[in-house]
Amino acid sequence: MKIDIQTRVFAANELAAAENRKYLDSKNLFCLNMISSPGSGKTTILSKTITDLKGKLEIAVVEGDIQTELDAQRIRNAGASAVQINTHGGCHLNAEQVAIALKKLEIKGPGLLVIENVGNLVCPSAFELGEHAKVIVLSTAEGDDKPVKYPATFAKAAAVIINKIDLLDHVDFNLPRVRADIRQLNPKCEIFELSARTGRQMDRWYSWLLENTVS
């Protein structure tokens, strides 16, 4: 019975995700599902991206958190529309929640929609939301063992952002090993090494976004 219930949950989510993808395609919105542990710097990356690409790319964000609208407000302060989803204990967003949020967003397209998932490297990767690509954010402060600890998550990523490279001299983080671990799991994955706080090497990330959204 437990397996049957789980199967029905995933099947219903897949149907809702497919509908979300149809909606996004109709609006010409490239959608990213951004996944990471708490504190990796997802919201800082998004805020800086919104500020720096203002006038070049229309961006909207769906924010997932257990509680509060703090991150959604940061996104709005940066200049983009944002809808907050509070899961009240849930460890991930699902496609039905995203469908409701999409109806509230003020974005016409073409452009970029980012779903900032609940901070967690396990559950969010198992639930499709209708996105076109998954982006994993890993900060140098978290340690360099995350790709081998969470291989299924990194294997599904179209891109991995290694954030907080400005801290490399102050943390125990083997960057070449992390690159190699990611490549072994996912040879086609794009890897961006940057610092959202300082702006270092953000340009490659911006170029990738623009290549995928601006025709």
Q: pLDDT tens across 155-204, in order?
A: 999 999 999 999 999 999 999 999 999 999 999 999 999 999 999 999 99
pLDDT tens sequence across 106-121: 778 799 999 999 989 9
Q: Which three-class secondary structure state does DSSP give residue 196?
A: coil
The token duo for 180 is 């190699």
Amino acid at 144: D
Place of tokens 């993808």: 21
Q: How confident is the model at residue 215 (pLDDT cuts 50, 70, 90)?
A: low
Mean pLDDT of the chain: 93
Query: Which residues neighbour 87 within 8 Å (Cβ) at sequence distance 6 or greater?
Result: 64, 65, 66, 93, 97, 118
Residues 58-83: what's their mean pLDDT? 95
Query: Domain coordinates of the chain in residue numbers?
Result: 2-213
pLDDT at 5 over 60: no
Describe the strand order of the beta sheet including 159-163 as a list of residue ranges. 81-86, 59-65, 111-116, 29-36, 133-139, 159-163, 190-193
Q: What is the pTM of this model?
A: 0.93
Domain at 2-213, CATH homologous superfamily: P-loop containing nucleotide triphosphate hydrolases (3.40.50.300)
